[in-house]
Amino acid sequence: MKKRYIYSCLLAGATLFAGCSKNFDQVNVNPTKVSADLFNPNFLMAQAQIQFSNTGYDQLLFQSMWSQALASTYDYYGNGDKYVASGSFQDYKARTWNNGYSATTLIDEMKNLVKGNAAYSNLDNCGTILRVLMLERVTDAYGDIPFSQEGQAKTGIFTPVFDSQKDIYASMLDQLDKACAALDASKAGPTSDLFYSGNVSQWKKLGYSLMLRAAMRLTKVDAATAKTYAEKAYAGGTMASIADNAKVKADYTNGNGNSDAAALLVTDDFREVRWGKTLIDYMKSSADPRVSAVAEISAGTGKTANETKAAGVSTYALQTGMPNGYDLKGGTTDISKAPGYPGTSPADASVSGDAPAPVGKYSRPKFAVYDDRNRYNFLLTYGETELLLAEASFRGWSTGVAATHYANALKADMETLSQFGTTSVDAAAITAYVATHPLVAGTELQQINMEYYVETATVFNFNENWNNWKRSGFPVLTKVSYSNQFATDIPRRCDYPVTLPSTNGANYAAAVAKLSGGDSFTSRIYWDK
């Protein structure tokens, strides 16, 4: 991971090259130009992958609770839990934008370095797939964004136009089609790749799986295009097992610790962030064995035990999800007033000065899994891909058998948890669950998308969790009512960063003018109908 710092040093100025480059004369002629001969462009891939995958507070404070997969009584999480501006509101609402473009800039430069160099053709095409992966997240959060003119400051474009999301999706699908076709497993793959260690065949499967996901975003606005590209992705070859999951392992020792874990380990967060009632109630309604693999309550009673960063109790019967929209302020929205409140975890009389823990009986994300600073961040999985294929098949498209894809997904989603390395679901329990939970006629869309909800929540991919809720309508959520809300309903997009009116005012204004409802959290983006 330390290689990630090399490139920024190279760009700092020509004086840095003098002591370490044999090409001093060439560099001195154009001290701002870096080429693949001077710097290995592969290094930029790993840097971009870890940066993009490490989301932390931007998804925890917003998306995770907008979809009601998590809940919190802690004021800092009011942004997501209650739609109330809290903490560094302007900073965090811009994080998806800033993180996405920052990582994309690295890929842009990587592609610039290898442009026209046949030896790096696979790296170039993998870069195209990564760029789509990154900017899809940004456009899905905000709507129209800079896409066609993004990353072109070197050519003098400092105020890029905001492309329509309709055009962005058309371009992304076309780019993925070309990149996947051009990948060649007989040639060298990326040498600094945190997804697949340079396996080009797996990159091709990722590209087609991403094509499928992008196609399915369009089911309500352009079913014909969705069908065309879903079928093309299936024919091209999507992910085939959990070994193909796109994920990045954090590296705490070398300064790349998992940012979700860092957030949750803050004492207030650890004490009050809980799995949402919507999620846990649904999982327990079907006796889902993942409950004990992902959830726990404190091993002791009282406030001290509830703040102790250690493994808890995962007994299935004890797990309870917390409803969104509650606080610890003693009024009508105090958590003690919530329907089905399990009661306060009493103070431990053996601990001096201990106090009760009001949310101590609600389930938190399992400490050993989600608070591991070296844990994986999942970006797209085989199980998600199989669920999307199941839905496409249900719609009558040529993507295989819906029931088979759904069964594959259930098995894969449970097995994927073992890739964290700190939890798992018993193999016999998986087999039994899949056998007793087939796809049922008349409830296919609900089953498929509720499983997508469970899977994306339990791998902590809350960006995708929220996006698929917007697309599918599952789960059916009830908005939170609370005082001083910035949104009148569950947010369906992020406001643009507050800096844009001053840095790219005309293009920002043009984008906002196309939003019904303006630059608001409840305005709908192109595919969200």
* 529 residues of the chain, pLDDT tens digit each: 444 433 343 333 322 222 333 343 333 344 455 565 677 999 999 999 999 999 999 899 999 999 999 999 999 999 999 999 998 999 999 999 999 999 999 999 999 999 999 999 999 999 999 999 999 999 999 999 999 999 999 899 999 999 999 999 999 999 999 999 999 999 999 999 999 999 999 999 999 999 999 999 999 999 999 999 999 999 999 999 999 999 999 999 999 999 999 999 999 999 999 999 999 999 999 999 999 999 999 999 999 999 999 999 999 999 999 999 999 999 999 999 999 999 999 999 999 999 999 999 999 999 999 999 999 999 999 999 999 999 999 999 999 999 999 999 999 999 999 999 999 999 999 999 999 999 999 999 999 999 999 999 999 999 999 999 999 999 999 999 999 999 999 999 999 999 999 999 999 999 999 999 999 999 999 999 9
Angle at 328 between CA 323 and CA 334, to 5 degrees: 60
Cβ atoms of 374 and 254 closer than 8 Å:
no
SS3 of residue 376 by DSSP: strand
Task: Tell me the residue length of the chain.
Answer: 529
CA-based end-to-end distance of the chain: 42
SS3 of residue 219 by DSSP: coil
β-strand pairing of 246-249 with 364-365 = unpaired
Q: Which domains occur in the chain, in start order?
A: 8-34 (no CATH), 40-259+374-472 (1.25.40.390), 266-370 (no CATH)
CA dist 418 and 425 (Å) reads 7
Cβ atoms of 131 and 107 closer than 8 Å:
yes
- The backbone torsions φ and ψ at residue 251, rounded to the nearest 5 degrees and listed phi first, read -140, 85
Cβ-proximal residues to 202 (8 Å cutoff; 6+ apart), any chain: 195, 196, 243, 244
Tokens standing for residue 233: 């992705």
SS3 of residue 144 by DSSP: coil
Cross-strand bridge partners of residue 297:
313
Sequential DSSP letters for 26-40:
HHHHSTT---TTTS-
What is the SS3 assignment for 76-91?
HHHHHHCCCCCCCHHH
- The DSSP H or E segment spanning 275 is strand 273-275
> How many CA atoms lie less than 13 Å away from 422 in the CB half-sphere?
17
Tokens 């842009």 locate to 108
CA dist 16 and 399 (Å) reads 54
Cβ atoms of 267 and 67 closer than 8 Å:
no
CA dist 208 and 355 (Å) reads 53
Cβ atoms of 511 and 143 closer than 8 Å:
yes
428 burial (CB, 10 Å; 0-12 / 13-18 / 19+) is exposed
**Helical ranges in 119-183 per DSSP H:** 121-142, 165-182
